[in-house]
Structure formats: C-alpha cells, structure tokens
Chains A and B, each alone.
Chain A
Amino acid sequence: MLEIRNLHASVDGNEILKGINLIVNKGEVHAIMGPNGSGKSTLAKVLAGHPQYEVTAGEVLFEGKNLLSMPPDERAREGVFMAFQYPVEVPGVSNAQFLRMAYNEKQKHIGAEELDPLEFKDLLKEKAKLVEMDASFMTRSVNEGFSGGEKKRNEILQMAVLDPKLSVLDETDSGLDIDALRIVAGGVNKLHDPEKAVVLVTHYQRLLNYIVPDFVHVLYNGRMAKEGGKELALELEEKGYDWLKNGNEKSAIVAPAAS
C-alpha cells in the first residue's frame, strides 16, 4: 500500500530525514519509534504533505501512485489520514459541519454518494460511539475549548468518518491519561481491518500495549536505526534510546568536538 524509498526531507535547509525506506502492506500496523528530534514526526508530516517540509530526494508510492506530487487535500481524499499531535481549533465551524464537508469532499472524489445533514447525522452518531464521544461535541466548534484528551478523541472520530486506507497517527498518545488512551486505542483497533494500514508514530512503548504493532521501526538521526517485531518496543522500553546511541549506531553519532 505504501512504499517509501530513500526519502530525504528538510525544513528550513536542515536535513531531517536522511534516507528512509519503509514498506507498509494492507492489514499491517507499523510503529515508528525514536527519541525526540529523530525525525519521526517529520516523517508523518511529509506523508500528509505539510508545506513546511521539503522533500529533497526519494519517492513515496501510495497504492502505486506518486504521493509526493499530490497536494495535501488530494492525499486525504485518496485515503491518507494523519491524526495530529496538536489538532487545530476552528471557531465558528461545528464538528458536524466540518466533518460533513470533509466526508462529502471524499465521497465526491471517489464517486460515492454525498450525504445531507440529516443522513450525515446518523453516520456521525454511529461513529461517535467508537470513541465514546457525546452528541454535544458534534454541535461544538471543531476542537474549540476541547481538553487535550477530547482533541485526540476527535482526531480518531475524524478518522472513523473519513475511513482512510492509511492512517498515520502522530504522537496520538501524548498527553493522554490512561482512560483516554484506552478509548483512543480502542477506536483505532475497531477501525482496523485487513484492507487498511496504520502507522503509529510514538515516543513511548505505552501505546503499543493497546495497539499491537506487527512491525516496529526505530528512527534515529533521520535514518532507520533498528527494525523488528513488537518485542523490539519492549526492549527499547527496558534499555532506553541510549542503547541505540551506544550500541549499533555508532556511525550516527556526531562527535561533539567538531562543533
């Protein structure tokens, strides 16, 4: 479904991704882990098409199509979804209005039927159960005045409504208490099926207790430093990211004397 080949990306002239390779097949859940500054959030944003990041080399194929040549809104309509670490507030536009706009854009794109507000309300009610969101959230402005946990649940609600093929969750676990984490992870699990794929970007292993990955990739200094199965996450939790720096990836460490 997703094929990333030798991806290099920079922000403001600083190279953050230095040659990423990754293949994600239908039905798979991949976790991308790594210390702060390793480039894992950059990878998520590059996949979604954030304008701040410049791809300097490599390619990304999504279902065989060149993902990098599509603007962000088209990527979304094609079935790529990113759950944000810091969702944006949109005053004046209710959650229901916003979601229906997004939903109908996608329906139009794939030649499926658009829904009027009443029909959409039924769909929304159904999806809201997945993340245990109260009906009152639908009439409130998008993310406005939502708590951190509510914003993350709202991201998963958007994911449920847009029904993407590929979901990239950027630090969705950050700032969540244990109950919210369980709800969010439960939503993601319920939405997952053999036709879809999930990429979880996370700093901590904690989330992976709830959403069990098939593969774990560890990013360090813009490159994949280690890859393995779900047990790799546990090993990381135990040994810490320093283990990477001191062990296998000596070449990735910049000598402090140079600066």
Chain B
Amino acid sequence: MATQLIKDQNVYSTAFRAAMHQREMIEPSWLSRLRENSFEKFEQTGFPVVQQEEWKYTNVAAIAKTNFAPVLSRNGTRPDNDWLASFAYEETRNSTAVFLNGIFQPDLSSLTALPEDVVAIELGAALLSGQHGESVRKQLESGVQLAENGFTSLNTALFSSGLFLKIPRGQRIERPIHLLFVGQAGHQDALPAAFPRVLIVGEENSSATMIESYASPDDDVYLTNAIVEVRLGSGARLEHYKVQRESPNAFHVATTSADLGPNATYDATTINFGAALSRHDIDVRMDHEGAECTVDGLYMVDGAQHTDTHSIIDHRQPRCRSQQLYKGILDGKSRAVFNGKVFVRHGAQQTDARQTNKNLLLSKEARVDTKPQLEIFADDVKCTHGAAIGQLEEDEVFYLESRGIRPELARNLLTYGFAEEVIEKIKITSVRQELDAAVLNRLHVDLEVG
C-alpha cells in the first residue's frame, strides 16, 4: 500500500518539480514556499483514504490510481464553438470567463460588461501584478483555513490559472459573472487533471452574483480539483451558484471556502448532476456579528454515480443566521453522502441555524448516507436540523393518477417537483431553465419550462 501511494504520487511529483523549475524565475518567493509546503503535505498524506472519518463513504482510490497529467498551461484542446455557445447564459454576455482544463482562455472569454473598477483578471497575472499581488498573497496565505487534505494541498502546489475577482467597496454589480470550466481530453494522450483556483474578494457593501459551472463536451475521463475562496467584507453580498455537469466519466473534487465579514450575506446554491465521482466541501465561516448565509444544494445521480457533500457552517460570533436545504434524488445504483456540520461556538448567542437534508430514492439499489451534525456551545440560540430518506408519497402519486396521468409520468412529475424546491429559488432565468431542462431530460418528461 505504501509503495503504491508513492508510485501514485510520482506522477504529481514529476509535474510539480517541472512546474517549480519553470516558475522559479517568475513567481514570488512567498508563493514558492507556499507551494513547497503544500506539496510536502501532499507527499506526507497522499490522497484521502476511507479510514479517515471525513472520507469514510467516499473512496478516491480510482483517482489515486489513474495516471492523470496535471494541465499547467494551455494544451491545445479546444471545444467546439457551438457547444460552448450552448453553455453561455444570456444574462452573462460579456461577463464570462472560460477555462479549459483549469486554464484561463482569453480568446473565449469576455468580461467587458463588468464595471471598470471591478477587478477580474487571470490569477497568474494577478499574482505578478504590483497592484493586486498583495491582496492575492493575503488571500492565499490565509488558505490555511481550507479543509486540509491531499486535494487542497495538491491544488495549492500546482494551480497555475484561475481568476482573481475583486468587487470594490460599494460596487453593486447587477450582471452575474459566469466562470465556465470545461473539461476535455481532446487529442492529448494523457488524461488531464485541472487545478483551477478562484479568489473572490467582495469589499465593504459590495454585491455580486457568480455562476461557477463545470461541463464537458465529451464523455472523457479527467479530474477537476478546484478551490474557490470567497472573502466578504462588512455588509458585502455574494450570490454563488455552482453547477456541476461534468462528463459522466469525470472525477470532480472541489472546495468552496467562504469567510464572512460583519453583516455580510453569502447565498450559495450547488447543483451536482455530473461526474462518476464528485466530492464538494463547502465551508462557511461567520467570524463577525450579523453575518448570514444560505447554503442550498441539489444532487441528482443515477447509474453508478457517487456524489458527496461535506459542509461546515461555523457560527463563531453572535447574531449570525444560516439556513441550509440540500435535496438528493438517487436512481440506479448511485450513492450519495451528505455530511453537514453546523457549529455554534462559545459566545455565539442569538444564532439562528436551520439545516435540512431530504433524499428521494427512486431505486432499491441506491443508497444515501446522511449525517447532519449540530454542535452547540452557546445557550441562547435557535437551531433545527433534520434529515429524511424516502420514496415518493403514495397519496401524491395517486392524486396525479386520479387525473388520468400514467403512473410513470406521475412519479416523474413528482420527482421533478421534489427538485424544484431548490431550483425554483435560483434567480437567474437561464440557469433555472437549464437545470429544469436537465432534470426533465433525465426523467424523460416532455414539459416546456417557464
């Protein structure tokens, strides 16, 4: 086993050494140190194993064993224009950044519709810029707050592209910003592994909406290992949609980490439809009074798909509010994991925290492991949590059948309705329509969506 691990890591070791050599003259020394430290951690820990509590139900041996080649610069693959256009949203025309295997594609991106004082630049460029280098450094070096595991360490060691987004003080951007991450092996021999890194800074009283989406034109095998870090200042607001529709053979591992300032609002909705195996860690720290977050999600899997969500909502100061609704629809032999921790720290009085996880099993072979966890160390709080796993209600199916609807369609309409509780809250019409269509398509229901 130990030799196996070392062998697996050799692929990354070679890539890491080569990248460090190339970057030697370019990158600042603080970053080289950060990368060296991170890679060392990765070499020590390797990829997570099921003996670790946080990875108990998600076995990533398939990722560890596959010979991925980290993509650290543009590698010549390029998706078809029509395909790309089908993933562009009307609402984000000229506010879209496209990444291919984690690498920013300036020719496919346009951010011209964003206000001039908004900073939206490729992360590599931001690192080297005199103007933004310091903010990027601050953010990256504080990345110690990230859930530490082989994946996050490897991302920090290897990432070479991504986005730095800064919404200046008081700037309220109406237009959503779309980050489209495309996974594609193209004509390359090696299976690509992407390591995008996104840093978002919302300054005092700023407001923005971001869609982070993952898609693939093919059924390729590839790995996405992404990190998105969000830091919101006092009174700042971010609406964050993450839409994971990777190739059915892809591996998707992602970490979202948000740090909220006083009275800041963070609303996240995460959709997991794609990938053979996906794991999402979403952590929200509320270390200042009056912060609020909504952390919603929907996973819909079938066949042999596996999806895992681990979330931590950390109430560290008084008068913060959080609400979380995660829903899951499982068919075939698919498997889902939901692990939601809500911490209410000592002194975090008048916390209001609500958490719900509901799962709908459409087949006898599907399986869900759900674990909502509430840990409260304060006494004046309002907290609720609950989890449910079940089938469709007989009464509901009967109602539709009694109107002449055939049983299969009745079940599918109700399944769609189950997903809608999450989807209908999405405020961007194109995104909502895309997801409606995706759910209906999976259920083979022909219904125009509004």
Say yes or no: A77 contacts B404, CB within 8 Å: yes
Q: Among B399, B416, B448, point to the contact of A88 (Cβ < 8 A).
A: B399
Within 8 A of A (CB), among B368-403: 394-396, 398-403
Q: What is the CB-to-nearest-CB distance from B271 to chain A, in angstroms, rounded to a whole number?
A: 15
Inter-chain contacts of A102 with B (CB < 8 A):
403-405
Inter-chain contacts of B396 with A (CB < 8 A):
88, 90
Binary interface encoding of chain A residues 49-82 relative to chain B, with 1 for a CB under 8 A from any of its CBs, else 0: 1111000000000000000000111011100011
Segment touching B, from A20-28, A91-99, A229-237, A251-259: A91-99
Is A175 engaged at the interface, CB distance under 8 Å to the other chain? no
Summed over the interface, the residue pairs from A and B with CB atoms below 8 Å come to a total of 81
Say yes or no: B405 contacts A73, CB within 8 Å: yes
Is A37 engaged at the interface, CB distance under 8 Å to the other chain? no
What's the Cα separation between A48 and B409 when bound, in Å? 18
Say yes or no: B402 contacts A139, CB within 8 Å: no
Say yes or no: A101 contacts B405, CB within 8 Å: yes
Inter-chain contacts of B416 with A (CB < 8 A):
92-93
What's the Cα separation between A187 and B399 when bound, in Å? 21
Instruction: Answer whether A48 and B413 are a contact pair too, CB < 8 Å, given A71-B407, A73-B407, A93-B447.
Output: no
Is B31 engaged at the interface, CB distance under 8 Å to the other chain? no
Say yes or no: B401 contacts A73, CB within 8 Å: yes
Say yes or no: B447 contacts A71, CB within 8 Å: no
Say yes or no: A105 contacts B399, CB within 8 Å: no
Instruction: Answer whether A71 and B417 are a contact pair too, CB < 8 Å, given A92-B423, A97-B448, A105-B406.
Output: no
The chain A residue sitting closest to B397, CB to CB, is A51
What's the Cα separation between A73 and B416 when bound, in Å? 20
Inter-chain contacts of B348 with A (CB < 8 A):
none
Inter-chain contacts of B404 with A (CB < 8 A):
73, 76-77, 102, 105-106, 109, 162
Inter-chain contacts of B418 with A (CB < 8 A):
91
Say yes or no: B402 contacts A48, CB within 8 Å: yes
Say yes or no: A92 contacts B402, CB within 8 Å: no
Instruction: Answer whether A117 and B436 are a contact pair too, CB < 8 Å, given A73-B404, A93-B413.
Output: no
Interface size on B, residues (CB 8 A): 29
Instruction: Answer whether A76 and B436 are a contact pair too, CB < 8 Å, given A88-B395, A97-B448.
Output: no
Is A240 engaged at the interface, CB distance under 8 Å to the other chain? no
The chain B residue sitting closest to A117, CB to CB, is B448
The chain B residue sitting closest to A102, CB to CB, is B403
Q: What is the CB-to-nearest-CB distance from B441 to chain A, in angstroms, rounded to a whole number?
A: 14
Say yes or no: B417 contacts A72, CB within 8 Å: no
What's the Cα separation between A222 and B406 when bound, in Å? 31
Say yes or no: B421 contacts A71, CB within 8 Å: no
Instruction: Answer whether A50 and B414 are a contact pair too, CB < 8 Å, given A97-B447, A117-B448, A162-B404.
Output: no
Is A87 engaged at the interface, CB distance under 8 Å to the other chain? yes
Inter-chain contacts of A50 with B (CB < 8 A):
398
Q: What is the CB-to-nearest-CB distance from B272 to chain A, in angstroms, rounded to a whole number?
A: 19
What's the Cα separation between A87 and B396 when bound, in Å? 9
Binary interface encoding of chain B residues 275-289 relative to chain A, with 1 for a CB under 8 A from any of its CBs, else 0: 000000000000000
What's the Cα separation between A102 and B405 when bound, in Å? 6
Is A120 engaged at the interface, CB distance under 8 Å to the other chain? no
Instruction: Answer whether A72 and B448 are a contact pair too, CB < 8 Å, given A51-B394, A52-B394, A92-B424.
Output: no
Q: Among A48, A72, A92, A162, point to the contact of B436 (Cβ < 8 A).
A: A92
Say yes or no: A93 contacts B417, CB within 8 Å: yes
Instruction: Answer whether A92 and B399 are a contact pair too, CB < 8 Å, given A51-B394, A73-B410, A117-B448.
Output: no
A-B contacts, 25 of them at CB < 8 A, read: A49-B402, A52-B394, A71-B401, A73-B401, A76-B403, A77-B404, A88-B395, A88-B399, A89-B417, A90-B400, A90-B417, A91-B418, A91-B424, A92-B423, A93-B416, A94-B450, A97-B448, A101-B405, A105-B404, A106-B404, A109-B404, A141-B417, A158-B403, A162-B403, A162-B404
**A residues apposed to B, CB below 8 Å:** 48-52, 71-73, 75-77, 81-82, 84, 87-94, 97-98, 101-102, 105-106, 109, 117, 139, 141, 158, 162
Closest 7 CB pairs between A and B? Answer: A92-B420, A76-B404, A88-B399, A102-B403, A91-B420, A72-B401, A91-B417
